[in-house]
Amino acid sequence: MATLRLFAAAREAAGTGRDVVAGRTVGDVLEQARARYGEGFTEVLATAKVWCNGEPAEPGQPVTDADEIAVLPPVSGGAGPAAGAAG
């Protein structure tokens, strides 16, 4: 079981910033998280970066109980030009 750390929109979608999730690979852990947290989390995960122990992670990467997987959604900025702006 790996520690799952969730930030920003991922934390909001899951309703928690930290959890312990079973899985043998990063992909397994994320699949369990999708099942646990639902569609909103799945949508956030589609654009998020996933790291394991501070390094970019791949789905097939093995994990152990000592590993920490972090889900980092992109930082949101403005929505583009303001309504009514010329352009």
Q: Where are the domains of the chain?
A: 2-72
Above 70 in pLDDT, residue 78?
no
Task: Report the predicted TM-score, pTM, of the whole model to 2 decimal places.
Answer: 0.84
d(CA 85, CA 67): 48
- The predicted-structure confidence for 21-38, as pLDDT tens digits, reads as follows 999 999 999 999 999 999
Under the banding of pLDDT at 50, 70 and 90, the label for residue 75 is: confident
Bridge partners for 19 per DSSP: 4
Instruction: Output the average pLDDT for the chain.
Output: 91
Q: How far is CA 41 from CA 33, 52, 69, in A?
A: 8, 18, 15
User: Which 3 state secondary structure label does DSSP give 62?
Assistant: strand
Which superfamily, per CATH, for 2-72?
A: Beta-grasp domain (3.10.20.30)
**Dihedral sign for Cα atoms in the order 17, 4, 23, 74:** positive
Give the model's pLDDT for residue 77: 56
